[in-house]
């Protein structure tokens, strides 16, 4: 019975906006507007032409990179791969199991995580595990190395989940686990790894993490919520180039 309900839900699910934009781009590739090997217009220009925000275009491009249709080159733009047409025939376009929109995830995080930090700050105590995670994050020196990048991201996930544990609220802990699953989806990882690629930015993130933690340890809910909100807004800007 449950499997039948899940199948029915998949059939009636409305596509997310970034999926529609990705399909528009694929249609243009099929029609020869952007042939294999060509460079797509800049994200700003695509957003204006399609009547959507730049963040949505970036999500769509990230999805097409994951599908093997596009390739992004730093400081050069997005290019249609030679095998794009073949990959588009292989990839199903039924929206059955898409990744959660990173913009939707960030919006939810902005609403929820400051509150979690405020609950955690009510205890006003230090946490040896968070201090260990922050030290480990600072020791990661080369984010261009896939293994070190995976380690840094793992510590980052554990940091945010540990804050939820400090709240002592089982429901908030479950919400944090749900967020952790969303930020481990492929599209999120694609955009995150493009946005967080240099040691200076990683150091800034760790600095912001320390501000969050020190506010929690000092028992200052207002500051803890403020620093979490500031941090997530920076992540959004770095991941999605929101201007």
| pLDDT bucket at 133, cuts 50 / 70 / 90 | very high
To which residue do tokens 């730093």 refer? 74
Q: Which two tokens stand for residue 61?
A: 């491009």
In three-state secondary structure terms, 175 is helix
pLDDT at residue 186 in the model: 85
* 9 vs 113: which has the higher pLDDT: 113
Residue (of 57, 114, 61, 107) closest to 84 by Cα position: 61
pLDDT at residue 98 in the model: 65
Contact between 99 and 187 under an 8 Å Cβ cutoff? The reply is: yes
> Which residues sit opposite 39 in a β-bridge?
79
Domains of the chain: 13-90 (1.10.10.10), 102-240 (1.20.120.530)
Q: What share of the chain in percent tops pLDDT 70?
A: 89
**Positive or negative, the Cα torsion across 118, 120, 121, 122?**
positive
Average pLDDT over residues 134-139: 93
pLDDT at residue 26 in the model: 92
| pLDDT bucket at 146, cuts 50 / 70 / 90 | confident
pLDDT at residue 149 in the model: 86
Of the listed ranges 12-16, 100-104, 170-174, 222-226, the one predicted with least confidence: 12-16
To which residue do tokens 């500031």 refer? 230
Q: Which long-range contacts (CB under 8 A, 24 or more apart) does 4-12 make?
A: 10/96, 10/97
Show the CA angle centred on residue 75, arms to residues 72 and 80, nearest 5°: 30
pLDDT in tens, 41-89: 999 999 999 888 898 999 999 999 988 999 998 888 999 999 998 888 8
pLDDT in tens, 209-237: 999 999 999 999 999 999 999 999 999 98
* CA 178 to centroid of chain Cα atoms: 14
> Any residues with CB less than 8 A from the CB of 16 and at least 6 apart, and which?
95, 98, 101, 104
């Amino acid at each position: 019975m449950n499997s039948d309900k899940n199948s029915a839900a998949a059939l009636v699910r409305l596509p997310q906006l970034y999926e529609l934009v990705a399909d528009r781009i694929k249609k243009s590739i099929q029609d020869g507007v952007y042939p294999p090997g060509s460079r797509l217009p800049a994200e700003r220009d695509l957003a204006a032409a399609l009547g959507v925000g730049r963040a949505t275009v970036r999500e769509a491009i990230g999805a097409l990179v994951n599908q093997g249709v596009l390739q992004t080159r730093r400081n050069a733009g997005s290019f249609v791969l030679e095998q794009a047409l073949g990959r588009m025939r292989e990839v199903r376009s039924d929206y059955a199991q898409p990744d959660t929109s990173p913009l939707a995830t960030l919006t939810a995080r902005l609403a929820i995580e400051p509150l979690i930090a405020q609950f955690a700050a009510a205890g006003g105590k230090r946490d040896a595990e968070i201090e260990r995670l922050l030290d480990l994050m600072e020791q990661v020196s080369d984010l261009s190395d896939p293994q070190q990048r995976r380690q840094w991201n793992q510590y980052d996930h554990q940091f945010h989940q540990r804050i939820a544990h400090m709240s002592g609220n089982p429901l908030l802990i479950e919400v944090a686990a749900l967020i952790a699953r969303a930020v481990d989806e492929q599209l999120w990882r694609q955009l995150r790894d493009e946005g967080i690629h240099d040691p200076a930015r990683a150091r800034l993130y760790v600095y912001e993490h320390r501000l969050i933690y020190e506010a929690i340890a000092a028992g200052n809910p207002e500051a803890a919520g403020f620093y979490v909100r500031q941090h997530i807004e920076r992540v959004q800007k770095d991941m999605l180039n929101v201007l």
